[in-house]
Structure 1
Amino acid sequence: MTIHDRVTRTSSAVVGSTDDIVRRAGAVPPLDGFPTLDDLWRHFARLERENPGLVSSRRVATSRLGEPIHAYSIGSGSRDHLIVGGVHPNEPIGSWTAIHLAETLCADGDLRTALDATWHIVPSIDPDGGRLNEGWFADPGDRGHYARRFYRPAPDEQVEWTFPTSYKDAYFDRVMPETLGLMRLIDELRPDLYVSLHNGEMGGVYYYLSRPVPELTEVLHAVPASFGLPLDTGEPESPFLERYAPAVFGTGTIADAYDYLESLGVDPALEIAGSSSSEYASRHGTLGVVAELPYWKHPDADDGSPTDESYADLLRRTGGEMTATGEALVDLLARAEPLLTFESPFLRASRAFVPMLVRMGAVDRARAASPESARPATVAERFSCEDLVHCFRLRYGGMLLRAVEAEAVAGTATAPLRRLVDETAVLYAAWQAEAAAADRAEVIPISSLVGVQYGAVLAAAAHLAAGDTAGNATGPAPR
């Protein structure tokens, strides 16, 4: 039985059909910037006030800095769908998606009936981290402005990656309060659908599914196409991931990641800590969905034509650049550490990510030795690998600069530390100039990004309404 047989009709469109989802995705209104955390809380508090009996809320966690975290429930359908924002606090497209989804569900009784679900929305599971990104929320189109004010928690401080792990020598149980609250909510709801609201940065659109769902491919491709957005068919975030369709991947598991790294001769214990929210939800047969969206689209993101460079040479070249980037930052961090007097989130994140860049380069060089790499690289792969170097220079160089600047702002920086701040700023400016010189990207309207993410949520919910109850093991999206 298809979606068309099971869902209701509104006007001439079948609710949940590809045409209907494309139409609904295209109806997201123009949006300007991203809401701050206080704005996000106000949006949902207003929805609850204005929709008594339809919307209810409850506290499900407390942030490490003491902020209450609430879940909002809408409707009373037979399935439970859980939508969670802020799992990575530098990825705020989901804030608007959560708001638009909630407002639409409140206003559209036909949609609620057709999808037959009780919706549970956590607008942000990491408000502490979200607030450290608010400096770029008002102007997200400028990549330099964005990266200079960027914050991503260290992996063991990310809600997405602090679920319990036990596989071979990988063991993790340092569960944060926010993660514990989400664990309890997942175990209570045993959701049919779990969507963690992520987004990428540059390139094209791609998706993760916790199990193969071929019926979703058409709509997952159609929605970004309706906005003129390319699929990202270049280098996947993690090479071991199964490709279900162009730009649609399996989420993989911690075991997959561990075994892959072990096969390359890399110590997995250095790279693997906690598991993901999707892998945790898989114990309940939950369908996990992630829509990864860029702020900037690039014409090379879906160009599968071959280049005159082998894939092996590409990996060696960009892997070497990544290692050199990491080594430069490792040196700056090592010289800064004795001069720093307090530990900021930026410093903790730098300690985790800076040496990671060195190891990432080593992994790529190990991959280059594989016989499978002796083929021409595609244009999309070349773009993905080259831009990842720019991305990580801007992200993690910017965070290290924030870490050392914090002392100067606080008035505790010594003269040697102030000189080191200046040295870091000069290197970072050079990296910004290199990234800008290579930039042929176009800023994507936020409403289009929200439309794609919203469309993916509706497509998965409509698929479940059509009768798919299959369950399968799932796992994490890459860090």
Structure 2
Amino acid sequence: MDSDTILRLVREVPDHDGFPLVDDLHARFDALAAAHPDRVTVTRIGTSRLGEPLHSYRIGTGSHAAVIVGGVHPNEPIGSWTALHLAETMLGDDAEATALDVTWHIVPTIDPDGMRLNEAWFHDPYDRVFYSRHFYRPAPDSQVEWTFPNNHKSVYFDQVLPETLAFMRLIDDTEPELLVSLHNGEMGGVYYYLSEDLPDVIDVLHAVPRALGLPLDTGEPESPHLRELAPAVFAMDGVEEVHDYLEGLGVDPAEHIHGASSAAWALRHGALCMVAELPYWSHPDADDQTPTDESYADLLRRCADDLGGSGAELQRVLDAASPMLTIETPFLQGSRAFIPMLTATPETDRARAEREPADRMATVAERFGCEDLVRCFRLRYGGMLLRALEAETTAGTASAPLRRLRDDLAERYALWQAGAVTDAAPIPVGTLVGVQYGAILACASHVADPARASRPAMVATQRSGGA
């Protein structure tokens, strides 16, 4: 499939109002299977922690296997529509399906339990304040994406979740040539992770958002250790590189690294792995390379102080509330994991700042990225802690001191909400799906290219942890 065809297809992706709820998403896939019994094979691959069946939908009979998994982080539902659109397209146009010569194994959501805890904002994903107030993200050791086995130097992890085991089983059974776990971010522009340095694929990854009017995110990368293959395209490095980077900063890697990723497991089978990270809201500063009058080192220190201060405020509330909490909700479990991270992360940023040249000025994009990360984490994890306290007030188990703590936190949270960026532009859901869909087609076209067998792979990373 050539790039012109891919760009035409992404422009044809329909728009949507919000995101499908879990039951609706499953019903839509089941309806596809019922309508095409000779072309869709449904396989149960496991069971969620709360007892929900996990299914993979096999579509096509191509000679190249691709695994596409949604809901790896349950607060990232753009992939729900992407998975459904991919399934519908491959079932609806024989010419396109035949051109790719791919057998698709699609999991609509691998963490339905976690996704249900975000459903309150799915009908209106454009309001960041409302989104954050009803936000849920599992603690790191409860995230499907980051609970694959890992054994590297000081880090050992084998607390594999049932959902992760199902994911592992699917990868091992299909031995895919392509793995795409469907992620998204929040604010800024589009960026990607790719396990191989593939100029032909990267050209399309750049062309797709440009064709849809979205900027690339060329500001502060998601993690400081990332290697850039091209603007807004990063090598999908594993925990080995993260470990060595943190060790070089004098930071204990065991405090920051736990399980490995789905890509680490799929690379054992030689898969090309790709992630397209998409924002709900765009902002012109995300792609502005104009230098500011603040050094990059000072920017890191300033934002580290802001983030650490916010983390300390939340930690004081959590510490005061903990003896009075009687309901062990996922919101409380997440708060106990993430709030200490807010106070620990600044240590790494301050160590980074010491290594930056004093005369290296931060760009507008870097400033926006660093500052918005502080806003994002305040809103996310302040909202989750509020949900944990409200579980008690709603159930009628909250003591008077706990109710006062809840009110105090709500007042502080309202100030953080007032500080949210107000000039960000919400992006149509169909446009976001188009970027993700186009990225999948670009990678699928690459793995299905007959000429690929005669070309050596340009490997961006090799992961050994996770055996």
Task: Please indicate, yes or no, whether the TM-score normalized by the shorter chain is above 0.5.
Answer: yes
Answering whether residue 229 of structure 2 is matched by residue 229 of structure 1, we say no
Task: Find 1:459's aligned residue among 436, 442, 445.
Answer: 442
User: CA shift at 1:385, angstroms?
Assistant: 0.2
State how far apart, in whole Å, the 2-side matches of 1:143 and 1:37 are.
21
State how far apart, in whole Å, the 2-side matches of 1:373 and 1:157 are.
40
Task: Find 1:182's aligned residue among 151, 167, 186.
Answer: 167
State how far apart, in whole Å, the 2-side matches of 1:267 and 1:212 are.
30
User: CA shift at 1:471, angstroms?
Assistant: 8.0
State how far apart, in whole Å, the 2-side matches of 1:434 and 1:459 are.
39
State how far apart, in whole Å, the 2-side matches of 1:446 and 1:24 are.
16
Alignment of 1:425-444 (within 5 A): 425-435=410-420, 438-444=421-427
Match of 2:157 in 1: 172
User: CA shift at 1:346, angstroms?
Assistant: 0.3
Answering whether residue 83 of structure 2 is matched by residue 101 of structure 1, we say no
Q: CA separation of 1:373/1:29 partners in 2, compared to 1, >3 Å: closer, same or farther?
A: farther
Paired AA for residue 201 in structure 1: E
Paired AA for residue 433 in structure 2: V
Match of 1:92 in 2: 77
Paired AA for residue 166 in structure 2: G
Match of 2:433 in 1: 450
Match of 1:69 in 2: 54
Answering whether residue 417 of structure 2 is matched by residue 417 of structure 1, we say no
Q: CA separation of 1:274/1:471 partners in 2, compared to 1, >3 Å: closer, same or farther?
A: farther
User: CA shift at 1:111, angstroms?
Assistant: 1.0
Deviations 1:207-242 (A, max 9, x none): 000111111122111111111110000011111111
State how far apart, in whole Å, the 2-side matches of 1:101 and 1:356 are.
36
Deviations 1:353-412 (A, max 9, x none): 001011111111110000456401011000000000000000000001101111011111
Match of 2:234 in 1: 249
Paired AA for residue 442 in structure 2: A
State how far apart, in whole Å, the 1-side matches of 2:302 and 2:347 are.
11
Answering whether residue 11 of structure 2 is matched by residue 26 of structure 1, we say yes
Match of 1:54 in 2: 39
State how far apart, in whole Å, the 2-side matches of 1:341 and 1:408 are.
11
Match of 2:286 in 1: 301
Which 4+ residue blocks in structure 1 deviate beyond 4 angstroms? 471-476
Deviations 1:177-198 (A, max 9, x none): 0000111111111100000000
User: CA shift at 1:426, angstroms?
Assistant: 0.6
Match of 2:262 in 1: 277
State how far apart, in whole Å, the 1-side matches of 2:374 and 2:106 are.
35
Answering whether residue 365 of structure 2 is matched by residue 380 of structure 1, we say yes
Local SS of the residue matching 1:220: helix
Answering whether residue 159 of structure 2 is matched by residue 201 of structure 1, we say no
Contact 1:310 1:375 in 2 (8 A): yes
User: CA shift at 1:475, angstroms?
Assistant: 5.6
Answering whether residue 316 of structure 2 is matched by residue 316 of structure 1, we say no
State how far apart, in whole Å, the 2-side matches of 1:466 and 1:374 are.
47
Contact 1:287 1:471 in 2 (8 A): no
State how far apart, in whole Å, the 2-side matches of 1:220 and 1:303 are.
19
Q: CA separation of 1:81/1:471 partners in 2, compared to 1, >3 Å: closer, same or farther?
A: farther
User: CA shift at 1:304, angstroms?
Assistant: 1.0
User: CA shift at 1:20, angstroms?
Assistant: 1.1
Q: Which runs of 5+ in 2 are unaligned?
A: none
> Normalised by the size of structure 2, how large is the TM-score?
0.97
Paired AA for residue 218 in structure 1: D
Deviations 1:303-324 (A, max 9, x none): 1111111000000000110110
Paired AA for residue 294 in structure 2: E
User: CA shift at 1:439, angstroms?
Assistant: 2.8
Paired AA for residue 298 in structure 2: D
Answering whether residue 346 of structure 2 is matched by residue 353 of structure 1, we say no
| More moved, 213-222 vs 55-64 | 213-222
State how far apart, in whole Å, the 2-side matches of 1:439 and 1:206 are.
22
Match of 1:9 in 2: none
Task: Find 2:132's aligned residue among 125, 142, 147.
Answer: 147
Contact 1:251 1:474 in 2 (8 A): no
User: CA shift at 1:279, angstroms?
Assistant: 1.1
Q: CA separation of 1:226/1:373 partners in 2, compared to 1, >3 Å: closer, same or farther?
A: farther
Contact 1:79 1:191 in 2 (8 A): yes
Match of 1:6 in 2: none
Q: Which runs of 5+ in 1 are unaligned?
A: 1-15
Contact 2:327 2:391 in 1 (8 A): no
User: CA shift at 1:55, angstroms?
Assistant: 0.7
Match of 2:388 in 1: 403
State how far apart, in whole Å, the 1-side matches of 2:50 and 2:403 are.
29
Paired AA for residue 431 in structure 2: S
> Normalised by the size of structure 1, how large is the TM-score?
0.94
State how far apart, in whole Å, the 2-side matches of 1:336 and 1:240 are.
36
Local SS of the residue matching 2:311: helix
Contact 1:48 1:56 in 2 (8 A): yes
Paired AA for residue 402 in structure 2: L
Match of 2:106 in 1: 121
Contact 1:208 1:291 in 2 (8 A): yes
Alignment of 1:249-268 (within 5 A): 249-268=234-253
Deviations 1:257-295 (A, max 9, x none): 111111111111111110100111111110001000000
Deviations 1:147-178 (A, max 9, x none): 00000000000000000011111010000000
Local SS of the residue matching 1:160: helix
Equivalent pairs counted in the alignment come to: 459
Local SS of the residue matching 1:301: helix
Paired AA for residue 459 in structure 1: A
Local SS of the residue matching 1:381: helix
Q: CA separation of 1:167/1:374 partners in 2, compared to 1, >3 Å: closer, same or farther?
A: farther
Q: CA separation of 1:193/1:372 partners in 2, compared to 1, >3 Å: closer, same or farther?
A: farther
Q: Sequence identity of aligned pairs in percent?
A: 61
Match of 1:3 in 2: none
How well do the aligned residues superpose, as a CA RMSD in angstroms?
1.2
